[in-house]
Structure 1
Amino acid sequence: MADPVAALPKPDRAALVAHARETIARGSKSFAAASQLFDRTTRERVWLLYAWCRACDDIADEQDLGGELGTTPGGDAAGRLALIRRLTALSLTGRPTGNPNFDALGVVAAECGLTQAMADDVIDGFALDAADWTPRGEADLMRYCFHVAGAVGVMMAVVMGVAPDDDDTLDRACDLGLAFQLGNIARDVAEDDRGGRCYLPAEWLAGADIPPGEQLRPCYRAALVDVAQRLAMLAAEYEASARVGAARLGFRQRWAILSAAGIYGAIARKVAAGGPRVWDGRVFTSRNEKIAHVLRAGLQALGRPAPAPHPRWSRTSLKALASGKMPRPQEA
C-alpha cells in the first residue's frame, strides 16, 4: 500500500513563513509586535516556531487561535494529543505532514537544531491537560508552566542562536517563559473556569480560605486578588532573571525580548492591581502601551540589567521533577 505521506509535496519555505506570519498576527498581537524587532532570518524562524506552538495549543484545547477553551462533551483529548505527537515526530524527520503549522516546525528545526526532546518537553504540558491535571502546590504549578511556556522559551533561545550547551542562558530563557505563563494564569482565571480548568494551586486556594471551584464567587474575589498578586510577584522574579539572560543576545534580539518582557509583564501587574472585578473582562495592553514598552526596551537594551539570582525553580530542577528524578518537595 502506498504511503500517503510520501505523495505530499515538499513544503515551500516562503509559503510557510507567510502562513506563520498571519498566524502570529492573529494569535498574539503582543508577540507579533515584539518579533518585528528581530533581524529577518530570526524573525521568520520565530514565526515558524510560533505557528507550531499555536497549532498544538489549539488542537489540544479545541481552540481557534487561542480563543475560548473547547468544552465538547466526551471530547477525545487523548486522540488529539496523539495527533500532536504523530505530526510533530513526522515533521522532525523532515517529511511533509500536510499541515503547514507542523511543516513550519520541520523547517525551523532543520535550520536551528531543535530536537525531539525539546518538542516533547512542550507536548508533555498538553498531556497534563489531557489528563485533567490540576496543581496541588507551587512545585506543581511551576512544573506545568515549564512544559507549556518555559520549554518554549528554551526552543526560542536556540532559534536565536543560543548554544544548546549554554545552560545558564537557556535557564534564563526558560525563566522568561515561566514569567509569561504565570501572568497568563493570573489573567485567565475566569476563562479557564469556563473551560473547566483551574491552574491555581489547591494549597494556595486553601490557604486563602477559597473552597475548590468557588474562586470567582463575589464573596471570595478579595481573597482571589491576593492569590493573583502572589502569581504576579513570582512572575516578576522570573522576569528579572530572564532579563539577565537577554543581555547576552545580539542587540536586536535583546530589544525584542525586553519588549516582550515589558508587554507581558504589564499584564501580570495589571491583574495584580485590578481589584476584585478584574476578571469581569480580559486584561490586555493597548497599542500605545505596546509602543511605550518597545521604546523603553530599546533604552534598556543599551544598558546592563540589574543582577538577579536564579529563582527557586530552575529549568534543571523542573525537568527533574517532571521526570520523577526529584521527589516532590513539602511546601508550606
Structure 2
Amino acid sequence: MNRRNLVLHARSSIERGSKSFARASKLFSKQTRERAWLLYYWCRACDDLADGQDHGHGMSTVPHPEKTIAAMRMMTARAHGGEQTGNPPFDAFGMVAQECHIPKYFADDMIDGFALDARGWRPETEDDLFQYCYHVAGAVGCMMALVMGVPARDHELLDRACDLGLAFQLANIARDIAEDAQAGRCYLPADWITEAGIDPDHLLEPAHREALVHLVNRLCDLAGSYEASARVGASNLPFRSRWAVLAAAGIYGDIARAIRKSDGASLERRIYTGKIKKLRAIMKAFGQALIKSAGRDRDGLWTRARATRLP
C-alpha cells in the first residue's frame, strides 16, 4: 500500500478510535499530522490485538496472548527494518519510523506493556504503576516527540514528552477503574489498596467506595503533576505542535479533573469531555501556545530512566 493510502487508513483509524486525539492532531502541520496518524494507526492496532478490541471497544479474551504478542513483535521488527508486512498498521509504523528515525527500542518498550497485560500482571508498588504507564503510554509520548522533530539526543524534552504519556495513562486508569475490575484487571498498586484497607478481590463493594474514591483522586492528582511537567516541554516545540500538544493535554487533563470533581460518579458511568468542551480546550490552548511556559524542574517525578527491560 502506498503512503497516501496508508495515511487515509490511519486517519480513519484515529477518527474511530480517539475523537480527542483526532481533533488535537488537526492542529499539527500537514507533515507532522500525517506522521502522527501513521504512528497512532500502529499503536491502536497493537492495543486492539492485545485486548481483543475494535478501536478500543468491546474488550474480549484473547485465546493465546503470548502468541499474539510474539506476532506483534515480529511484524513490528520487520516493518522497522524496512520490510513490507502486508499488514497496513505495521507498514504505517515502518514508514513513520524510517521518516523520523524512531529507535526500535521505543516500539519494544510499548509492546512490553502489552506483554504485562498478557501475563495478567498487576502493580505491587507505585513505581510498578509508573513502569506500566511508561510502557503503554510514555514510550508513545517519546515517539510522538520524534515525530514532531525533537532530536533523539534531547533527553530533557523526551522526558517531558514521556510525562504527557504518563498523565494520559493515569487519567485512563482513573476513568476505567470499574470497567477494568469487571474485566479482571486492576492497575491500582497493591500497596495502595492494602493501605486503604480495601479487599482487592472485592474492589467495587459499596463498603470500599469512600476509600476507592480517595485512590481514584490520588491518580488524578498524579496525572495533574505530569501534565504540568509536559506543558513546560511543549514550550520548546514549533507553534503548531505546541498548540496541538497543549490542546491534547487540556482535553485529557479535563477528563482527570472531571473525574476528581465527580466524587465517585466515575465508578458508575464513564466520564468524557463533549465536543463543546473539546473546542474550548483547543481555543484555550491557542492562547497558551502564544506564551511560552516558565521553566519548572522535574524533582520528585518518576523518570523513564527507571524503566527496566522485561524478561
Q: TM-score, normalised by structure 2?
A: 0.97
Secondary structure of residue in 2 paired with 1:213: helix
Counterpart among 117, 132, 139 of residue 144 in structure 1? 132
Deviations 1:60-105 (A, max 9, x none): 1111111132135xx2110110111011011111111111110100
Alignment of 1:1-332 (within 5 A): 11-71=1-61, 75-310=63-298, 311-317=300-306, 319=307, 322-323=308-309
Deviations 1:159-206 (A, max 9, x none): 100000000000000000000000000001111112211001111111
- Taking only the aligned residue pairs, the percentage that are identical comes to 54
Distance in 2 (CA, whole Å) between partners of 1:21 and 1:133 is 32
- Contact kept, 8 Å, 1:20 with 1:47, in 2: the verdict is yes
Equivalent residue, structure 2, for 1:8: none
Deviations 1:127-146 (A, max 9, x none): 11111110011000000000
- Contact kept, 8 Å, 2:181 with 2:203, in 1: the verdict is no
Code of the aligned partner of 1:62: G
Deviations 1:17-40 (A, max 9, x none): 000000000000000000000000
Deviations 1:239-283 (A, max 9, x none): 111011100000000000000000001111111111233221111
Distance in 1 (CA, whole Å) between partners of 2:266 and 2:116 is 28
- Contact kept, 8 Å, 1:68 with 1:195, in 2: the verdict is no
Quote the offset at 1:151 in angstroms.
Answer: 0.3
- Contact kept, 8 Å, 1:157 with 1:170, in 2: the verdict is yes
Code of the aligned partner of 1:37: L
Q: TM-score, normalised by structure 1?
A: 0.91
Distance in 1 (CA, whole Å) between partners of 2:236 and 2:295 is 13
Distance in 2 (CA, whole Å) between partners of 1:307 and 1:194 is 42
Total equivalences in the alignment: 309
CA RMSD of aligned residues (A): 1.1
- Contact kept, 8 Å, 2:137 with 2:166, in 1: the verdict is yes
Quote the offset at 1:306 in angstroms.
Answer: 4.2
Code of the aligned partner of 1:13: R
Distance in 2 (CA, whole Å) between partners of 1:29 and 1:221 is 31
Instruction: Between 21-30 and 92-101, report the one with greater CA deviation.
Output: 92-101
Instruction: Between 234-243 and 304-313, report the one with greater CA deviation.
Output: 304-313
Structure 1 residue runs without a partner (length 5+): 1-10, 325-332
Cα distance change of structure 1 residues 306 and 68 upon mapping to structure 2, 3 Å threshold: farther
Instruction: Between 216-225 and 145-154, report the one with greater CA deviation.
Output: 216-225
Q: Which runs of 4+ in 1 moved over 4 A?
A: none
Secondary structure of residue in 1 paired with 2:150: coil
Secondary structure of residue in 2 paired with 1:136: coil
Code of the aligned partner of 1:45: R
- Contact kept, 8 Å, 1:16 with 1:48, in 2: the verdict is yes
Distance in 1 (CA, whole Å) between partners of 2:185 and 2:61 is 10
Secondary structure of residue in 2 paired with 1:96: coil
- Contact kept, 8 Å, 1:123 with 1:147, in 2: the verdict is yes
Distance in 1 (CA, whole Å) between partners of 2:255 and 2:294 is 21
Larger Rg: 1
